Chains A and B, each alone.
Chain A
Amino acid sequence: MPFEWFVALRYMRDAKGQTALILAAVSVGVSVIVFLSALINGLQASLIDKTLGSQPHVTLRVMREEPRPLVMADADRAVARAVQPAPQRLRSIDQWPLVMADAERTAGVTAAAPTIIGAGFAVRSDAKNAVVVRGVDPERYLAIIDVRKRMTAGRFDVAGGDAVIGAVLADELGVGVGDKIRITTTEGIDDVVSITGVFSLGNEGVDKTWVITSLRRAQALYALPGGATSIELKVADVFAAERIAGEVRGRTGLQADSWMKINAELLTGLSAQSSSKSMIQFFVVVAVALGIASVLIVSVVQKSREIGILRAVGTAPSRVLRIFLIQGAVLGLAGSFVGSALGALLSKLFEGIARGPDGGPKFPVQLDLQLFVFATVLATGVGLLSAVIPARRAAKLDPATAIRNG
């Protein structure tokens, strides 16, 4: 075994009490970091998951219509004009299959689906509810939002022009699978659709208003033969959505909104949460570093005679330096292992205790390899760094004085 390792490990073994205490301190620090990260990451992931459960990552639609003056000025006529915002009507994207193919080719985009989104009423006997009608291409749409997994009754089958509706809407209308409802659209067209399934995406607004049917059926309901009002995209990295939206906007000239823009408030909240997490981590790291440094400084003082002897019998200062750096790094590393295990245990316990009304965990924790690697590298690095001052002090000891004064 290399000399420095041998001496470092022997020192740590001999000072059992000190080693155990500082190891405990490092472990607690690491477990706080692991637990906190697992909790906050899990919370954020589940929030984002919920948000994206009923939202595409990027939505493309036609630009809003610009206000237009009704009378144009010309060479010999000046016009005082009143400009009013143009009323927005439902329009189809020009040549949407080409646009969709183009958007699909953008790097980072994993799926694209054409949709018609329109408003209307769902009527059944006396009940009348405002609804959002979404006409979709089933195969493509399921790649964006997997409604099939969220069915509470029936199945997702809209191919024949049938519809699936939100659970709350079904409840309010008092309908179930196999029933029929009448849809009246904003275009003044009405038609009867039969319900093949009921879904719950976990979002009240969605579950209360959505009626999903086939694209062809929606084209008929909104008098947009062959049209699609928006194209929805799914991307590989959800946080790249805004960048990809910008790229697609540039390429297609359409309005492209990412979920990040639509949920700006959520993102602000998440980033505030992340910075408070970083802050807590920072202070934990500082406390751990101070702990390791102070234990090692005490150890240098206690062992100064021995260090003097080592130096006198021919151990170079650089080796003495390494003896203490190794101790710091080993304390950090060992502490990170114990702390990771402790943090993981704590997270699992917490997840088990705090359960929501549906029996699922209220606070889903997210423990992944990356987190453990991060904690290990962090703790080892901190151990090494906090050993620098004590180690330099040890290396600089004057052997003659150290031996004389002990």
Chain B
Amino acid sequence: MAEPLLVVEGVVKEYGEGVITRALAGVDLTLEKGEFAALIGPSGSGKSTLLNIIGLLDRPTRGRVVVGGQDTTGLDEEGLTRVRARTLGFVFQFHHLLPMFSALENVMLPAWGDEGVPSRTMKERATELLEAVGLADRMHYKATDLSGGQQQRVAIARALSRRPPLVLADEPTGNLDTESSNDVFELMRRFNRELGTTFLVVTHDPRIAERCDRIVEIVDGRIRSDRRVSPPT
């Protein structure tokens, strides 16, 4: 069997000195290529912390994270940034686009910020993605001039702009009405199907979770259940 895309091994995360708060109490998780998994749990269960650690935005107190075969334990900030730039895509709850930049510039951002100078391919790729998310006509709009659903679609295009094997989404539909929610979710499923991108979606919407292939539930910093969802017939 091929090497898993993501391996989380015995990850513990503690905050504070003296009074220690344990956010994660030993988490093991493996994601295979092409999976579409939901991460659920009550607030304060540690799911955001886990997502940040998997996203290399935060370091575990103990344990290790292997992304795309690379152990990230010993990397410095520049090294983590490089792995993040090349293997991970992010979709945040509040889209987090750069407000004064156009949709196109926002989508080009990850590649541009990593490589330094813009290239023709960068722009072509970004244009294609914006077409794919149905925003071809809004390409040069400023992020702040787009609706919530449109912004989140731009955010998905941005997350996918470098064809990362793994996309992490933190409540991607948490802020949207039902229709936009549905659009955004379908968009992610489509990229999962068409590009084989692996998704890990944090959500507390059970309807969203049920439409994923796998549901991982985390409670009090531990994984309580991890089950496959039978495909809808």
- Stretch of A51-59, A65-73, A269-277, A304-312 contacting B (4+ beta carbons < 8 Å): A304-312
A316 proximity list for chain B (CB < 8 A) = 77-78, 81-82, 85, 113-114
Task: Let me know if A400 and B98 touch, CB within 8 A.
Answer: no
Task: Let me know if B113 and A313 touch, CB within 8 A.
Answer: yes
Between A6, A309, A310, the greatest number of chain B beta carbons within 10 A of the residue's beta carbon is seen for A309
Contacts known (A313-B110, A313-B158, A400-B52); A10 close to B101, Cβ less than 8 A? yes
B112 proximity list for chain A (CB < 8 A) = 3, 6
Q: Is residue A1 contacting chain B, with contact meaning CB distance below 8 A?
A: yes
Q: Is residue A314 contacting chain B, with contact meaning CB distance below 8 A?
A: yes
Q: Is residue B229 contacting chain A, with contact meaning CB distance below 8 A?
A: no
**B86 touches which one: A4, A6, A314, A317 (CB < 8 A)?**
A314
Residue of A nearest to B77 (CB): A317
Query: Residue-by-residue, is A308-349 near B (CB-CB < 8 Å gives 1, otherwise 0)?
Result: 011111111111000000000000000000000000000000
A400 vs B58: C-alpha distance when bound (angstroms): 7
A6 vs B108: C-alpha distance when bound (angstroms): 12
Query: Which parts of B58-108 form the interface with A (CB within 8 Å)?
Result: 58, 77-78, 81-82, 84-86, 88, 90, 92, 96-101
Please report the total number of A residues contacting B with Cβ < 8 Å. 25
Task: Let me know if B98 and A309 touch, CB within 8 A.
Answer: yes
Q: Is residue B57 contacting chain A, with contact meaning CB distance below 8 A?
A: yes
Task: Let me know if A314 and B85 touch, CB within 8 A.
Answer: yes
Q: Is residue A166 contacting chain B, with contact meaning CB distance below 8 A?
A: no
CB distance from A80 to the nearest CB of B (A): 91
Q: Is residue A284 contacting chain B, with contact meaning CB distance below 8 A?
A: no
Task: Let me know if B100 and A10 touch, CB within 8 A.
Answer: yes
CB distance from A252 to the nearest CB of B (A): 65
**A3 touches which one: B58, B86, B90, B113 (CB < 8 A)?**
B113
B86 proximity list for chain A (CB < 8 A) = 314
Q: Is residue B55 contacting chain A, with contact meaning CB distance below 8 A?
A: yes
Task: Let me know if B113 and A310 touch, CB within 8 A.
Answer: yes
CB distance from B173 to the nearest CB of A (A): 18
Contacts known (A311-B81, A312-B90); A319 close to B98, Cβ less than 8 A? no
A10 vs B142: C-alpha distance when bound (angstroms): 13
A6 vs B86: C-alpha distance when bound (angstroms): 21
A4 proximity list for chain B (CB < 8 A) = 116
Q: Is residue A87 contacting chain B, with contact meaning CB distance below 8 A?
A: no
Task: Let me know if B109 and A313 touch, CB within 8 A.
Answer: yes
CB distance from A398 to the nearest CB of B (A): 8
A315 proximity list for chain B (CB < 8 A) = 81, 85, 109, 113-114
Contacts known (A10-B101, A400-B52, A403-B92); A312 close to B57, Cβ less than 8 A? yes
CB distance from B24 to the nearest CB of A (A): 14
Task: Let me know if A314 and B96 touch, CB within 8 A.
Answer: no
Residue of B nearest to A309 (CB): B96
CB distance from B50 to the nearest CB of A (A): 12
Q: Is residue A114 contacting chain B, with contact meaning CB distance below 8 A?
A: no
Q: Is residue A383 contacting chain B, with contact meaning CB distance below 8 A?
A: no
B92 proximity list for chain A (CB < 8 A) = 309, 403
A403 proximity list for chain B (CB < 8 A) = 57, 92, 96
Task: Let me know if B117 and A2 touch, CB within 8 A.
Answer: yes
Q: Is residue A76 contacting chain B, with contact meaning CB distance below 8 A?
A: no
**B57 touches which one: A10, A305, A306, A400 (CB < 8 A)?**
A400
Q: Is residue B42 contacting chain A, with contact meaning CB distance below 8 A?
A: no
CB distance from B197 to the nearest CB of A (A): 16
A312 vs B91: C-alpha distance when bound (angstroms): 10
Q: Is residue A74 contacting chain B, with contact meaning CB distance below 8 A?
A: no
Q: Is residue A368 contacting chain B, with contact meaning CB distance below 8 A?
A: no
Contacts known (A2-B117, A310-B113, A403-B92); A317 close to B85, Cβ less than 8 A? no
**B113 touches which one: A1, A305, A314, A399 (CB < 8 A)?**
A314
Q: Is residue A14 contacting chain B, with contact meaning CB distance below 8 A?
A: yes
A2 vs B92: C-alpha distance when bound (angstroms): 26
B44 proximity list for chain A (CB < 8 A) = none
CB distance from A296 to the nearest CB of B (A): 17
Task: Let me know if B117 and A3 touch, CB within 8 A.
Answer: yes
Query: Which parts of A1-37 form the interface with B (CB within 8 Å)?
Result: 1-4, 6, 10-11, 14
A11 vs B98: C-alpha distance when bound (angstroms): 11
CB distance from A21 to the nearest CB of B (A): 19
Residue of B nearest to A404 (CB): B48
CB distance from A242 to the nearest CB of B (A): 54
Q: Is residue B118 contacting chain A, with contact meaning CB distance below 8 A?
A: yes
Residue of A nearest to B112 (CB): A3
Contacts known (A2-B117, A3-B116); A314 close to B110, Cβ less than 8 A? yes
A2 vs B116: C-alpha distance when bound (angstroms): 5
B110 proximity list for chain A (CB < 8 A) = 313-314
**A313 touches which one: B58, B78, B90, B117 (CB < 8 A)?**
B90
A341 vs B52: C-alpha distance when bound (angstroms): 51
Which A-B residue pairs are the 9 nearest by beta carbons?
Answer: A314-B85, A315-B113, A400-B57, A313-B110, A14-B100, A316-B81, A400-B52, A314-B110, A309-B96
20 interchain pairs (CB within 8 A)? A1-B118, A2-B117, A3-B113, A3-B115, A3-B117, A4-B116, A10-B101, A14-B100, A306-B99, A309-B92, A309-B96, A310-B113, A313-B84, A315-B81, A315-B114, A316-B78, A316-B85, A316-B114, A317-B78, A403-B57
| Chain A residues in the interface with B (C-beta under 8 A) | 1-4, 6, 10-11, 14, 305-306, 309-319, 398-400, 403
Since A310-B109, A314-B82, A319-B116 are in contact, a sample of 18 more A-B pairs with Cβ atoms closer than 8 Å, ordered by chain A residue number, is A2-B117, A3-B112, A3-B115, A3-B118, A4-B116, A10-B101, A306-B99, A309-B96, A312-B55, A313-B85, A314-B81, A314-B110, A315-B85, A315-B113, A316-B78, A316-B82, A316-B113, A400-B52
